[in-house]
Structure 1
Amino acid sequence: IYAKMDWAKIPKILKGTWPRKPTPILDTPPTVLPRRFAFDTEFDPREGYFLRYSMAYPTLPTGELVVRVVERHDVENNPFPVVTAPPLVIAHHILADIGFLEQYFNLKEGDYHYDDTMHQHAVLWAGLDHDLDTLGSLYAPINRWKHLEQSNPRVYSGGDAEGTYYCRTALDKELNADPGSRRVYDDIQIRLVSHIRKAKRIGIKVLQEPSREIAKDLQGKVDDLQVEAEALAGWPINLKSNLHTAQQLFDSERLLEFAITKGAKK
């Protein structure tokens, strides 16, 4: 899929329609909360200290995108936006942002709906990476922005919201074209978020001593498999490394060539 979607960009590049420039950033919070918006936050991962939020949403009647990146002091020195109806909040890994969303928009659970592009992509493409950098490179009409975290944090933050908005638009179409995946996402995957949030807040009862024994037993099996893999491969392969595993299976073992040959014989 990566190669296919990269090749699909070539006509757009030749026409000058890709990549588009990022949407200019506004630095003030909205006075009225949009009915549908992508939302992302930046915070100190060690201290949990909130730094800024970003949001992206279309305006009526043109559908032109608005991107806002609002610093902490501006959030805290402005009134809450007016909520006219329960909004749809679009996020990537919403569990990281949901607390700040409720705090700074004066919302509580049940006051809003949400979609999560990480979970959407996980349902549709279980074997691929689901980070926002990957999704942005696949679906967003803007160029990659994740490398700007230190050099240009505001553009980085705006890119997270804008990219998430575009990704959700594309992923929603893919889900609608695949009724089975749509049911899994709507009925199972996205509903897990509230349960995981509750479990993180109050904890999960665990039988600690049996759990430690089970974990120890599983780790022993993993260690045995690692030793066996090194012996079979003849070099210190790391089974945790996708690169090492792919190198052994496809370069040394020639697994793909074997599969093609076997398929041709049928």
Structure 2
Amino acid sequence: MATDTTQSTETPTTRIDVTDIFGDQLFVHLGLIASVFLMALPLVLAIFMSTQTPTEVYNISKIGFGSSGLSNYRTALTEYNLMQYMINSFVMSAVIVVGKVALSLLAALALVYYRLPHERAIFMFILLTLLIPVPVRIVPLFQLLADLGWANTLLAITGPYIASATAVFLFRQHFLSIPESLVENARLDGVGPISFLFRVLIPMSKGMIAGVSVITFIYAWNQYLWPLIVISDQQKQVIQVGIKYLQGASQSGLTQWGLIMAGAVIALLPPLVILYALHRPLLETFAIQQK
């Protein structure tokens, strides 16, 4: 009697290991995601609080958008004149950026492409200015501007920030990395120093100029102490001091933190726009340096 034997075949179970997909980069990605979340958490909480009433802010269990909506933003911009403070800060930051970049480019051009006596000593003296603390400079600088009649003017909040040892250092180091052959060709062609700056150096330094401009704009935008000291007219104050004025607002004896957070979020927008507008030259510079 013949017996049919059926040969059973079992399909082996295929296991997909997550680590096989991402490799060793899985934990790196998780760490980066966690870091981004932790860094963005204060901003997210500020946005939530900017839409809440004082009662909702003091309610710990209330996490999320509040019932005020955009009313805190309208109040900050209209009743507390925050829009005027932003215009003042933008004008101040723009003047500082243009003046600092222009002066630093000329200074770096002189240090690199001119034969100056005691050039090394001059450069070291410029760097030594970074060691002077800001509080030490406030009193004599205020006295100087008062004697010049610049107090409570745009020159008072822009003039002290035009000269920058950091920007001069960055541009100098960048100019030193430019091939000497370009300089020699320009000299043979009879190109003057100013023409060489605009036709060669600036086009080759777009990324560095963009980086210095972004850093300078954010630094100028966040100034608080010096404008508070040198500007006495409230209509001429900057956004950071304007946010300080919001702390005087209260409702039923409670500080309106929603209003303050709305002002902080508004003050955050211009630097983000500037950073986004100049991010391409920055990325191109980083890509060139990596190559």
Q: TM-score, normalised by structure 2?
A: 0.20
Greater RCO (Cα-Cα under 8 Å, separation 6 or more): 2
Q: TM-score, normalised by structure 1?
A: 0.22
Of Structure 1 and Structure 2, which has the larger fraction of its residues in helix?
2
Structure of higher CA gyration radius: 2
